[in-house]
A and B are shown apart, each in its own frame.
Chain A
């Protein structure tokens, strides 16, 4: 199957918290895209899983979805 060409000027920002299981299929589906996972308040292996899929990972130790979106957007190229 030919992979779709994804617009490199678009980055996908995903806020994630304790989502080590749910995030894998999402990232697999986004393969080839510029993905920033903004982990917030996580105590599981969400950052490691996201890195395995080649995503840029930025971690906010405190849980805050809106702040996570902001830092994700600031990280995106």
Chain B
């Protein structure tokens, strides 16, 4: 059986949508929701959908996913997030991919409204290059499957990584000899950021975790954004840093610069406030 593990914090509305969609999955599965101290109806929504509910003592995504796996009964685990919307065949496809590989990751398709604003247009352009991530041996947990025995063998997520925890997990899995396969049939939709403030916050967290990953995995993962501020100055450079060809859209260019600037700020913060790992 495959167990779907979802960390959630004050996400009752999004979670209701996700659990409705998961009820239409084409394969039998178990639902585990880990509630990190929500003050809204998150736990009740999960309970009503028949999910196993775990209350985590901390707001930490790594810990939450570890707790979810500990409470799960499946021999295969599928991770997604409360704000995602998996396709009906998602869990089944991921389960099949996990027969030939210990880890499997599928596409994360960004969705936006009919008239996307600049933050949404920016996200539509670059997020998530999951196939490219998988080719580099990593994947985002928004759509990641792993065999339970492999997860246990590497002691799950490292809770010292609050962000970048999925990269760390995949690299440790690779070191342990586990394979990660691209699973194109297991699709998950994810909403684009709708506000520049959200782009900035995400960029900051990404910059900080990229610095920590660079320290933990020199030459292998992560990046110290503050050492290359050029992306902020040269036109189109912020987009090229995300492997996207620049487009003739001033809004997107602005969002990309805000993202890149936030990454620099986050990487500086991680270097100075050495909440270091390893």
Contact = CB atoms under 8 A, between A and B. Distances in A.
Interface in B177-195: none
A58 B52 contact: no
Interface in A30-77: 56-62, 64, 67, 70-71, 73-75
Interface in B39-85: 43, 47, 52-57, 63, 66-67, 69-71, 73
Contacts of B71: 60, 64, 67, 70-71
Contact of A71 (B43, B47, B54, B73): B54
A64 B53 CA distance: 12
A61 B55 CA distance: 8
A75 B63 contact: yes
A60 B73 CA distance: 14
A61 to B, nearest CB: 4
Interface size range of chain A in the complex: 10 to 19
Contacts of B56: 58, 75
Contacts of B47: 61
A74 B73 CA distance: 15
Contacts of A64: 71
A74 B70 contact: yes
B57 A58 contact: yes
Contacts of A62: 52-53
Given A61-B43, A61-B47, A75-B63, A70 B54 contact: no
A10 to B, nearest CB: 17
Contacts of A71: 54, 67, 70-71
Contacts of A56: 57
A74 B67 CA distance: 6
Max count, chain A CB within 10 A of own CB: residue among B52, B57, B63, B69: B57
A50 B76 CA distance: 33
A75 B157 CA distance: 12
Nearest to B43: A61
A8 to B, nearest CB: 17
Contacts of B156: 74
Nearest to A55: B57
Contacts of B53: 60-62
Given A71-B71, A73-B70, A74-B63, A60 B52 contact: yes
14 contacts: A58-B56, A60-B53, A60-B54, A61-B47, A61-B52, A61-B54, A67-B52, A67-B71, A71-B54, A71-B67, A71-B70, A74-B67, A74-B156, A75-B63
Return the 8 tightest CB-CB contacts between A and B, nearest first.
Answer: A70-B70, A59-B55, A74-B70, A71-B70, A61-B53, A74-B66, A67-B71, A71-B67
Interface of A: 56-62, 64, 67, 70-71, 73-75
